[in-house]
Each structure stands twice: as C-alpha cells, then as structure tokens.
Structure 1
Amino acid sequence: MSSRPVPARVSRLAERLQRRLSTRRQGHAVHAVKTLIAALLAWGAAEPWAATGRPFLAVATALLMVNASTVHQSVTRAVHSVAARGAGLLLALGTTRLLGPTAGAAAVIALLAVPAGPRRGTDDRLQIASTAVIALAATATDPLGGLVDPTLQTLTGAVVGIAVNALLLPPLHLDASDSAVRDLAQAMGSLLRDMGAGLESRQLTSRAHGWLHRARGLDKRLARAEEQVRQADESLHWNTRCAAQARRRDVPAGEEFRALRGVALQVRGIARTLADNAHDRHGDHRLGHQFLDRYAETLRLAGAAVEGFVRPSGPAAAPDATPRERLRLAIDGALDWHDTMTTLIGRGTLTKPGAWHVYGSLMTDVERLLADLDYADVRAKSLARRGVQ
C-alpha cells in the first residue's frame, strides 16, 4: 500500500476536528452572550415593580428559556413552567387559607401534587409542589402579593428569555443533522465497499464476522442521526434565521435519513447472510466464485450509491455531472450488475446444490437496497422541483 494516502487522511481528520472545535467555541460564546443579555434584561424589566426589588425568579426563568436548544422548545418550556408555577401558587394560597402556613399544609401539598409512584408528568407535579411549598410563607403574610408577584416575575422572565433566544441568533441544528446523516451514509457505504473488496479477494471466512459486527454497530449511528434530524426539524419552527437565510437543499436531511434507515436493514441482512455462510458446515451451501465476483462488484457500486445519495462522488462520473447525475450513474451501474447475476442464476450457471436460498437472500437484500435508493432519488427530485426545503 502506498504511504501517500495516509497523510492525506490524517490531514482531513485534523481539519474536520478543527472545524468542530471552532464551531463549538463559537456556540459557547453565543450562548454566553445570550445568557448574559437575558439575565440583564430580565432584571431590568422586573426590578422596578418586584416586591423585594430583587427579581431573582424572573432572572432564573429567563435563563431557563434562553438556554433551550430550540426556539420551539423555549416556548413549550415556558408554557409548562408558567402553568406549573401558577398552579403551585394557587395551591399554596388555598392550603394556607384552610390550614395556615403549617406542616399540615405542606403535607397536603405533597399528597395532592406528588401522588405515589412514577407516572407521566412527574416533573410538572414536582415543580407545582416545590413552588407551592416555597410560596407558603409569602402567601400567609400577603396572600395577593404572594400570588401576583411570583407569577408576574415568571411571565416576565419567560418573555425575555424567549425573545432573546428567538431574535438573537436563534439556534439552528441543520449542520449537525447534515453531518450525522452524512456519517451514517459513509459508514454504510464504506461497509458495502469493504464487503465487496473482501469477497473479491476471497476473504469471506476471515472477515465475515467483522462485517456483521460493523453492521450491528450501525444502530448507534442510526439513533444519533435520528435524534439530530428531529432536533433540526424542531429548530426550524418559529426561527427567524430561516426566513432570513432562505436555506434550500436538494433533499431535506429527514428524507435522506428515512431512506438510509431502510437501506441499513438491507446492509445488516447482507452482512448476516455472509457471516452465516462463511461458517456453514455444509459444503454444497458455499457460494461460487463466479457469483462472489459479480456480487462483489455489485456491493462496491451499491456502496458508492449510498455515499453518493448524501455526498455524491465517484471517479466514474463526468467532471461536469451534477450530484444527482453521479448518483444515477452509480445506481444504474449496480442495477446492471444485478440484472446480469439474476440472469446467470436463472440459467443455473451460478447455482450450487443447496445454496439457492443463500443466493436468493443476498439478491433480495441488494435488490431492495437499490430499490430504496432509486425511490428516494426520484422522490428527492420531485421535492426539489416543488421547492421543499
């Protein structure tokens, strides 16, 4: 192997790491500035009319809202927080009037707001209970003020936090989503190409279980990509930067992920079939060399198609080809190999006694893989024509 590709690969990894570190530093700086601005604005807005002149509750609420990962989350979190604290204050007022600021009132609050056993909405009930207990003394001495002042502080902090989060560089997670989906496609494409190279060099027995282990490891990448895509979609809601940037992509990351999630099932199926066949004790179940050569080429082309679906590339593409044209070339080449193998199997050229079910499983998986990519490619073009972002 030549030593030249190694420094180039290390250089690419170093550049990627540097970009990520730079992005993180910028993100931390933005969060720090937004947090400081929200705290100062909340204090300035609530201090003139706060009962004690120290609106700590408004500042705390603003900090919670401004540090939400998306504008949509800051709004929903504000609604829950205001509703929970309002309910807690009302509960404190009611129990104080009935029992006074006593241990009995605290016990009643605990029984009403925190039923025994973990249930859905436990966090909201705990916030209601804690707010009610803290407000017992305030509502006992000044029932109206003890109820109105914390409520207004909470509302003020929520409004300030949401406004700062929404108007000052509201968070977008599109780059993280794109990166996660691209990493998933590269992992699957690399595995397919590696399986193709291994089959061609007759390394099925020695490498099959390694391929299966890598295929099973795709589940973690799938979960990470799904979470990133979900967060990216949520970050687009009520985000002023979307209208300003008018960011458009040929294929939304969500569409790409859904296509790759189906492809991952076929990749795992191929790896599992190869691993089972590698250690099958029945000699007549072994795959023929001619089939392996054909299938190896199909896997390499399928790997290029998977990678090209997200980040099209390939030496076979023309320099002036568009990304979708390069992807189309990869898919068409793999489909041609698939048709050739199907014909050979139909004629009985490749079939060995007892191995027909292995051929069928491998052919079905690669056929479904290519069909998923083909369908996703057609749908992507349709979405692009309709201007879906």
Structure 2
Amino acid sequence: MPRATDSVGEFTRELLGRGHTTLHSGFERSLRGLRLHGVRHWFRRERDAFTQTLKTALACAVAWELAKHLVYHQHPQFHAVLAPVAVLITMQVTIYQTFRRGLQQVAAVLLGVIAALVVGSYIELTWYTLSMLVIIALMIGRTLRLGTQVNQVATTSLLVYSLGRGYGVERIWDTLVGAAVGVVANTLVAPPTYSDNAAKELADLADDLAELCRDVAKGLGGTWTAADARKWLDRSRALFGDSHDAEDVADQAEEAVRYHPRRSTLEPEVNRVDQAAICLSHVAAQLNGLLRGLYDLAAGNRGLPATTDVPGALAILLLDAGRALNRFGRLQIPDRDSRRMLEELKVILAAADDHQLSAIEAMLPIGAHAVERWSVHGALLDGVRRMLYELDPVAGPHTLAVPVVAPEPVAGAST
C-alpha cells in the first residue's frame, strides 16, 4: 500500500509539475514576444486568436438565446446549456473540421436518444441494464467512426434513459441549434484561415531557436562544461520536437482553406507558411546535431578528447544565426517593419559570410588529438553554415518562406 500511495503521489507531482511548466513557458514566451517585438507586433501575432475567442463567445450567447426561445419557451425553468456546448464543440480551427465536428455532434446525440428510447422501452433501469446501454452506445459510436464524439452517444443515452423521452427530444433540438450556430458563425463570420495561427507558431519557434543560439554563444564565450552542453542539447531536442508540431500546424493551414470562400487568395500564404515550417524544421535538426557534437566533445564521447576548448569563431557564427532567426521569425507576421526586417536579415547573412571565412581558419585544430578534433570542428562549422544557408531569403532553398515585401518607394515619385 505505501508503494501505491507513493506512486500516486509521484504521478500527481509530475502532472502538476508539467502543468506548471506549460503555463510558465507560455507566460515566458508572451513576455519575451513583448520584449523583443513590442506591443504592436505582439498584438498582430495574437489577433487571430483574439478574433476566434470573441467570435466563439458571441456565438455561444446567440445559441443560448435561440434555444431558450425556440426549444425551451414552454419550460423557462430550464437552461439551454447544450446549445452553447454544441457551439464550443463545433467551432474548430478550420471550416472543414467545423462541418465534420458539427455532423458528428448531431449524429452522436441523435443515436444516443434512439438507443435510450429503444432500450428503455423494454428494460427497466438497473445497474446491469445501464452498463449494457453504455456498451451498445459506445459500440454504435465507434462503428460509425464518430471520433471524439463517441462518448457523447453514451452520455446522451444515459441522460435520456434516466430523465425521460421529453428530455431526449429537447436535447436533439438544443444540439441542432448550437451546431447550426457554430457552423454559420465559423463559415460566414470572419472564417478562420489558420495561416495566421501557423505563422504565429513559426514565429515563436524561430524566437525559441534564436534564444538557444544566443545562450550557447554566450556560454561558449565563457567557462562551460559537459553539463552545460547537455542542457543545451536537451533544449534543442525539445525544439526539434516543436518543429514537427510546426509542420503539423502548416498542414492544418492547408486544410483550413479547403472550403474557405477565399481559397484562391489564401493559397499563396499557406504555401509560404509550409515552406517556412520546412525551413525551421531543418534549422532545428542542424542545431540539434551541432549541439550533439559540442556535448560529445566536452564529455569525451566516441573516443574524443574531453575538452571545452572551442574557438570563439563558432560563438560569433551562432550569434549570427540567432540574429537571423529573430528577423526570420519577425517576417512570418508581416507588418510595416517587414521591409526593414528583410534588409537586416540580408545584412546579417552577409556579415556571417565573412565570419565563416574567419572561422575556417580559426577552427583548424593543432597539437594533440588534432585529427579527432578536426572532424568535430568541421561538423560544428558545417552545421552552423547550413543553418544560415536555410535562412537565406535570396540564395537559400526556402526563398518562398519569406513574404513578398514591397520595395521602398522612390523619393519624389508620383503616386
């Protein structure tokens, strides 16, 4: 028994710790965005989320009022809570998902009512008939592939079975009202494109990668150990996982325009976001490999001499990469500063070209274990060079990842 109690306590502490870490990291990310980019650009990043939140809240209120007057007008003592719930379930990040989830929600409620009425007509309510009803309802939901609404079939069946047939009819109409309001609101009122959400996620990822590059560069400029390199590597691995999430977000952006009324207009931006996601995924992979090499060098893995003696030229290049990532992230959310950000990105990469030439000479190891260290130094240098190449908006492999920026207007030109 003590072991079980300890396990439960350990699980609870781990769960609470993960929740605290998630909240803390989200709060830190927001503060960092405000500090790096200012209130205006931060609000530009969050604008789509604010719009969706406000739209959902208003849709819930409309569904409540409609259901109250259309469904519960003869029962004013009842609250039309199911209609707002249906709105929350139905309104998804894409129009396609909104239609799909709305149909699933209505089908789940309808099937749950039918199952309860059929079973309730022949069997009295007992613990074993209740269990049988749940089994039947869940089997129906899974057979018809109702996704996350499988449990809704069983929930509706239990409520109708216990509260009576009248509740079942009202629940159907209540859900229909909410689902209809959710579909109409998400389709006709500022329909979500999700490309803005995807661009925000990519901008945040670029900021995270930039911060790690700066931290590593700062560490290499002072005294660092294998333990420090291990922490950098762990952060890099987490960001590499985030880069896969970013690619999933880009895929959602493609789905978002599937039934969007402005599909032809939005597709170029969706393609740009997709290229940016691929670019940052490659950068994250290269940074992860670079930090793995640093850790191996510091820890003396793979037969390497354990040393933290790394030329300062690597730190300079990592600073360049961090600055380039910062500008690349800013460009993912186009605003009036985008032209300046693009020019700064080009200047940073041009300076990095000169720094690479210096690094080639500085990172040629001499003395004991020169051959072993040469392979690691070469991999480190190649890793950061590849990162910079990925971010190049002119000659890199992902030039479409940067939005088209209007040229500077010529002074004195007629308008």
8 Å Cα contact 2:276/2:402 also seen in 1: no
For the aligned residue pairs, the C-alpha RMSD in angstroms reads: 5.1
Measured after TM superposition, the shift of residue 166 of structure 1 is 3.5
Match of 2:296 in 1: 276
Superimposed CA distance per residue, residues 111-165 of structure 1 (whole angstroms, 9 cap, x where no aligned partner): 32346xx99968544322232233347877xxxx887665444323321232234
Superimposed CA distance per residue, residues 203-239 of structure 1 (whole angstroms, 9 cap, x where no aligned partner): 4548545543543453575477567656666655555
Which of residues 190, 193, 216 is equivalent to 1:195? 216
Which of residues 266, 275, 280 is equivalent to 1:260? 280
Which of residues 78, 83, 102 is equivalent to 2:107? 83
Q: Decide whether aligned partners of structure 1 residues 364 and 156 sit closer, same or farther in structure 2, where only a CA change above 3 A counts.
A: same
- Give the letter aligned to residue 306 of structure 1: L
Instruction: State the alpha-carbon separation in 2 of the partners of residues 287 and 137 from structure 1.
Output: 70
Superimposed CA distance per residue, residues 27-69 of structure 1 (whole angstroms, 9 cap, x where no aligned partner): 7655443321221123334457xxx656969751344225634
Asked if residue 327 in structure 1 is aligned to residue 345 in structure 2, the reply is yes
Q: Decide whether aligned partners of structure 1 residues 147 and 226 sit closer, same or farther in structure 2, where only a CA change above 3 A counts.
A: same
Measured after TM superposition, the shift of residue 80 of structure 1 is 1.1
8 Å Cα contact 1:345/1:351 also seen in 2: no
Q: Decide whether aligned partners of structure 1 residues 45 and 264 sit closer, same or farther in structure 2, where only a CA change above 3 A counts.
A: same
8 Å Cα contact 2:328/2:402 also seen in 1: no
Match of 1:212 in 2: 233
Measured after TM superposition, the shift of residue 190 of structure 1 is 3.3
TM-score (norm 1): 0.67
Within a 5 Å distance, the mapping from 1:89-108 to structure 2 comes to 89-97=113-121, 99-103=122-126, 106-108=130-132
Instruction: State the alpha-carbon separation in 2 of the partners of residues 330 and 171 from structure 1.
Output: 35
Task: Structure 2: state its 5+ residue gaps.
Answer: 1-31, 332-336, 405-415
Match of 2:391 in 1: 373
Match of 1:355 in 2: 373
Instruction: State the alpha-carbon separation in 1 of the partners of residues 398 and 37 from structure 2.
Output: 36
8 Å Cα contact 1:82/1:154 also seen in 2: yes
Match of 1:3 in 2: none
Q: How many positions carry a matched residue from both structures?
A: 358
Match of 1:35 in 2: 60
Instruction: State the alpha-carbon separation in 1 of the partners of residues 187 and 151 from structure 2.
Output: 28
Measured after TM superposition, the shift of residue 287 of structure 1 is 7.7
Q: Decide whether aligned partners of structure 1 residues 227 and 355 sit closer, same or farther in structure 2, where only a CA change above 3 A counts.
A: same
Which of residues 124, 135, 142 is equivalent to 2:160? 135
Instruction: State the alpha-carbon separation in 2 of the partners of residues 368 and 131 from structure 1.
Output: 56
Asked if residue 304 in structure 1 is aligned to residue 326 in structure 2, the reply is no
- Give the letter aligned to residue 233 of structure 2: L
Within a 5 Å distance, the mapping from 1:115-154 to structure 2 comes to 124-136=149-161, 150-154=171-175
Q: Decide whether aligned partners of structure 1 residues 211 and 66 sit closer, same or farther in structure 2, where only a CA change above 3 A counts.
A: closer
8 Å Cα contact 2:83/2:175 also seen in 1: yes
Superimposed CA distance per residue, residues 228-270 of structure 1 (whole angstroms, 9 cap, x where no aligned partner): 6566666555556x68x97975974443233112211211222
Larger Rg: 1
Q: Decide whether aligned partners of structure 1 residues 65 and 236 sit closer, same or farther in structure 2, where only a CA change above 3 A counts.
A: farther
Q: Decide whether aligned partners of structure 1 residues 287 and 178 sit closer, same or farther in structure 2, where only a CA change above 3 A counts.
A: same
8 Å Cα contact 1:193/1:299 also seen in 2: yes
Instruction: State the alpha-carbon separation in 2 of the partners of residues 333 and 14 from structure 1.
Output: 23
Instruction: State the alpha-carbon separation in 1 of the partners of residues 131 and 188 from structure 2.
Output: 43
Measured after TM superposition, the shift of residue 374 of structure 1 is 4.4
SS in structure 2 opposite 1:311? Answer: helix
Q: Decide whether aligned partners of structure 1 residues 205 and 146 sit closer, same or farther in structure 2, where only a CA change above 3 A counts.
A: closer
Measured after TM superposition, the shift of residue 334 of structure 1 is 3.4
Asked if residue 12 in structure 1 is aligned to residue 30 in structure 2, the reply is no
Match of 2:199 in 1: 178
Q: Decide whether aligned partners of structure 1 residues 251 and 344 sit closer, same or farther in structure 2, where only a CA change above 3 A counts.
A: farther
Q: Decide whether aligned partners of structure 1 residues 326 and 150 sit closer, same or farther in structure 2, where only a CA change above 3 A counts.
A: same
- Give the letter aligned to residue 132 of structure 2: V
Superimposed CA distance per residue, residues 168-224 of structure 1 (whole angstroms, 9 cap, x where no aligned partner): 44556555543432232123223324434554x454548545543543453575477
Measured after TM superposition, the shift of residue 300 of structure 1 is 2.8
Which of residues 175, 178, 183 is equivalent to 1:157? 178
8 Å Cα contact 1:66/1:165 also seen in 2: no
Match of 1:64 in 2: 86
Q: Decide whether aligned partners of structure 1 residues 231 and 19 sit closer, same or farther in structure 2, where only a CA change above 3 A counts.
A: same
Instruction: State the alpha-carbon separation in 2 of the partners of residues 384 and 356 from structure 1.
Output: 39
Measured after TM superposition, the shift of residue 382 of structure 1 is 8.4
Instruction: State the alpha-carbon separation in 2 of the partners of residues 17 and 383 from structure 1.
Output: 20
Match of 2:408 in 1: none
